[in-house]
Structure 1
Amino acid sequence: MHSLKLWLDRSPAAQAVMILALGTGLTALFRQGSHPLVWVVQGAFYTAVSVGFLAVQRRRAGRVTGKDPRGVADLTRRIRHREVPSDPGEREAMRRLVDDQLGKLERAGRWLPYWLGIAGLVVVGMLVLGAISGSPVFPAIFTVAVAAFCYAIFRMRRHTLALYRHMRSALEDPS
């Protein structure tokens, strides 16, 4: 399992295969009456968009750190495991990556109340439509799903901010 996770972490081709399989499977699940070729085409479209997005992120992280994509993947793995490199060059590259990611998270946090407000409006609208139509089951399930999703986003954000702040302080400490 460890080697599979490492392979998926380092290999864009492995990520593309995984996204294609998941995209095709989910399309087949939600469009059961369609031709299987439609499933594959939509899965390929999802894969192309996802891989393009990931490539832009990797290129940006590579410019920030001065490393190739494999080096950036290694740095992010080391950040997740809270490993501080002893090599000064690696420390500097990791510090730049941590500062960049932490800055992005903090800038995105300014928009969080607005996104939560929009999600709240959608939930209230669904509940009102459910009450008017006389079928409140789906809106209630939708409300619980949106609340669970928002809670998960808050937990991930808090954990990631704590991780990057810890790494920033560990990288600034000369010992």
Structure 2
Amino acid sequence: MLSLKRLLDRSVTAQAILVFLLGLGIAALIRRDEHPAVWVLHSALYTGIAVAFLAVQRHRAARAVGTDAGGLAELNRKIRHHEVPQDPDEQAAVRRLVAEQLGQMERAGKWLPYWFGAMGLIAVGMFVLVAVSGSLVFPLLFALGMVALCFWVVWRRRRSLDRLRWMRQALRPQ
């Protein structure tokens, strides 16, 4: 499992394969009546969009820190494991990465209530639309999944902010 996590952390290709397979499975579940080629087409489109977004985000972060994608993955691993680098150049790179990620998370945090509100409206709308048509199982599962997703996002955000703040504090000059 550790090698799979490391592979997904470092390889955009591995991430693309995972996104493609997940998209294919979801498309097969949702669009059962359509031809499998449509599933593959939709999955490939969503994978392309996700990989393009990921590549731009990773390139921007690597440029801000002054390293490549592999170095960025290693710096993120050190932040996750609370490893303070001893090398002054690496400390400066981690400091820049922490500042970049904290700034990004704080800017995104302003929009979080609106995103949760929109997700709540989508869940309620789906519940009403499908409940009117007959079945209650799918809308209930969808609403529960949406609530679980929101709680997971809040938990991951809090955990990431704690790690980044800890690293910023650890890297402060004494």
TM-score (norm 2): 0.86
Q: How does 1:87-98 map to 2 (within 5 A)?
A: 87-98=87-98
Q: How does 1:24-35 map to 2 (within 5 A)?
A: 24-35=24-35
What is aligned with 1:84? 84
What is aligned with 2:58? 58
Shift of 1:96: 0.5
In 1, the alpha carbon distance for the partners of 2:131 and 2:7 equals: 49
Shift of 1:120: 4.0
In 1, the alpha carbon distance for the partners of 2:129 and 2:28 equals: 29
Structure 1, unpaired ranges of 5+: none
Moved more, 119-128 or 52-61: 119-128
Shift of 1:119: 3.5
Q: Structure 1 pair 19/134, CA: closer, same or farther in 2 (3 Å)?
A: closer
Is 1:148 aligned to residue 135 of structure 2? no
In 1, the alpha carbon distance for the partners of 2:38 and 2:132 equals: 36
Shift of 1:33: 2.0
SS of residue matched to 2:34: coil
Post-superposition CA distance 1:66-99 (Å, at most 9, x none)? 1011111111111111111110111111110111
Q: How does 1:36-55 map to 2 (within 5 A)?
A: 36-55=36-55
TM-score (norm 1): 0.85
What is aligned with 2:73? 73
Give the share of equivalent positions with the same residue, in percent. 53
In 2, the alpha carbon distance for the partners of 1:161 and 1:6 equals: 22
Shift of 1:7: 1.7
Shift of 1:134: 8.2
Shift of 1:145: 3.1
In 2, the alpha carbon distance for the partners of 1:30 and 1:36 equals: 12
Post-superposition CA distance 1:111-158 (Å, at most 9, x none)? 122223334444555666688778766555444333322222211111
CA RMSD of aligned residues (A): 2.3
Q: Structure 1 pair 128/22, CA: closer, same or farther in 2 (3 Å)?
A: closer
Q: Structure 1 pair 159/67, CA: closer, same or farther in 2 (3 Å)?
A: same
In 1, the alpha carbon distance for the partners of 2:37 and 2:125 equals: 36
In 2, the alpha carbon distance for the partners of 1:105 and 1:141 equals: 29
Moved more, 100-109 or 151-160: 151-160
What is the number of equivalent residue pairs in this alignment?
174
